[in-house]
Amino acid sequence: MGFLKNKSCRQQITDEHRSCQDAGRRAFLKKAVKAAAIGSTAVVAGCQAPGLLGSKEEMALQFQEYFKAHYRLMTEKERDATIIRLERLAKLQKGVDVQISSKGALPGVLYGYGFNVTRCEGYMECVSACARENNLDRKSNTQYIRIFEMEPGQMAPNAGNGKFFNEVPVDGRFYMGAQCNHCDNAPCIKACPTKATYREPDGIVVVDYDWCIGCRYCMAACPYYGRRFNWNEPVVPANEITRKQHYLGNRQRRRGQMEKCTFCVQRTREGRLPACAEACPTGARIFGNLLDPNSEIRFVLENKKVFRWKEELGTDPKFWYFID
C-alpha cells in the first residue's frame, strides 16, 4: 500500500513537472505566434477591416485549422499549435480569453459513474450545471442529461416521463437520469467512419470535434441517446462561456459537429467532480476511479444493488444505477 502511494506520489511529481514544461513551451509558442501576427499586421495594415469572413488573421488561423490532423495523431507540438490557434480564434470571434487544456488521461484511472435512483428527486440542477459547464448551445437548448419522472414499476428511463413540469418531488414517483453511458464496448465508436469518436485510456468516450464530418451514424448506433448534434451554429453568450476548457471537452463546438458528455474531462482530469455530480443537491450522483479500491464508486458497486440500463446489448456501460 505504502509502495503504491509512493508510486502515485512520484507520478504526480512527474506529471506536474511535465505540465510545467508544457506551460513553458506553450508560452514561448504563444509569443512567437503573437510576433508573427504583429509582423503580418504591419504588412497588411490598412486592409484589416473585418470582412464577410472575419479578419485576415482569423481567416489565416481557420485555414491552418482546416488541415490539422486527428487529435490522437498529433505530436505534442501540433497539439500546442492548434490550442494556441483555437484560443486566439475564441478571442477574435467572441472576445473571450479561454484556456484550452490538452491534459491526457491520468495513469491508473478508469472513470465510473453511479446514479442513485432512491435519492434523485428530479430538481434537474445537474442538467443546468452541465449546460453551463460544457458551453452547451443555448439556442436549441442542448442538454446532455435528461431526467425522467417514473411511476412505480418502471425501471428504465425510456418508460418514464421526460417532459414533467410539475413541482418535484412527487409522492410515489421517483426519478431517473439518462446520459452517455461511456460504454466500454461502445457502438458509436464502432460505427464512426473516421474514428473521430474514440475511447480515451481513462475510459471516457470522446469526440474529436474537428475531425467529425457530421454523418450522424454514431447517433443511430447509440442505444442510450447519449449524443447530440449541432444542427445550427451553437450560441453561448460571451459572459456565460466557461473559460477553463479541454480540447476533448467543453471547448466551443461548431455547426455540423457531434458532441456528447465527456464526464467533464476538463474537470475530472484535474481531480474535480463532473459538474453534474457537484451540482446535485441530494447527492444522488457518484463519480470516481473504478481502479481505486477506496473510491466511492467502488464502495457503491460493492455494497449497493446496482444495475445497468440495456445490459442485454453487451455495451458494458460505465454508468450504473443503484438503489439505497
Partner 1 sequence: MTQKSSVRQLFGFMTDVARWSLSGGIGYQLFLCLLVVFMMLGVFAYLVQWKLGLTVTHMSDIVSWGFYIANFTFLVGVAAAAVMLILPSYIFKDEHFHHVVIIGEVVAVGALIMSMTFVFVDLGRPLQGWHILPIIGLFNWPSSLLTWDILVLNVYLVLNLSIPAYILYCHYNQREPDPRKYRPFVFISIFWAFGIHLITAFLYEGLPARPFWNNPLMGPRFLASAFAAGPALITVLLAIIHNATTFKIPKQTFNKLRLIIVISAIINLIMLFSEVFKEFYFPTHHSLSAEYLYFGLDGHNSLVPWIWTAVSINIVGTLLLAFNPGKNRPMVLLPACVLLFIGIWIEKGIGLIVPGLVPSPLGEVVSYAPSWVEISIALGVLALGMFVVTILLKPALIIEQRFETNNETV
Residues within the interface to partner 1 (CB under 8 A):
66, 70, 73, 140, 146, 148, 157-160, 162, 178, 187, 189-196, 210-217, 219-225, 227-233, 254-258, 313-314
**Cα–Cα dist 102/79, whole Å:** 7
CA contacts within 13 A on the Cβ side of 127: 17
- Report strand pairing: 197-199 vs 205-207: antiparallel
| CB of 175 or CB of 300, closer to partner 1 | 175
Listing DSSP states for 121-143 in one string gives -S--HHHHHHHHHTT--TTTT--
Would you call the peptide bond into 169 cis, given omega within 30 degrees of 0 as the criterion? yes
Closer to partner 1 by Cβ: residue 160 or 203: 160
Phi, then psi, of 220 in degrees rounded to 5: -70, -30
**Each residue of 153-178: b (16+ CB within 10 Å) or e?**
ebeebeebeeebeeeeeeeebbbbbb
Q: How many residues are recorded in the chain?
A: 324
In angstroms, give the least distance from the CB of 148 to partner 1.
8
Residue with Cβ nearer partner 1 (182 or 227): 227
Least CB distance to partner 1 at residue 266 (A): 23
CA atoms within 13 A on the CB side of 281: 9
Minimum CB distance to partner 1 smaller for 102 or for 158: 158
Q: At 118, list the grid cell.
A: 432512491
- How many whole angstroms separate alpha carbon 151 and alpha carbon 173? 5
**C-beta separation of 212 from 180 below 8 A:** no
Q: Which is nearer to partner 1, 214 or 283 (CB)?
A: 214
3-state helix, strand and coil shares in percent for the chain, rounded to the nearest 5: 35, 15, 50
| CB nearer to partner 1: pick between 46 and 193 | 193
Q: How far is the CB of 192 from partner 1 (least distance, A)?
A: 6
Tell me the sheet residues that pair with 148.
176
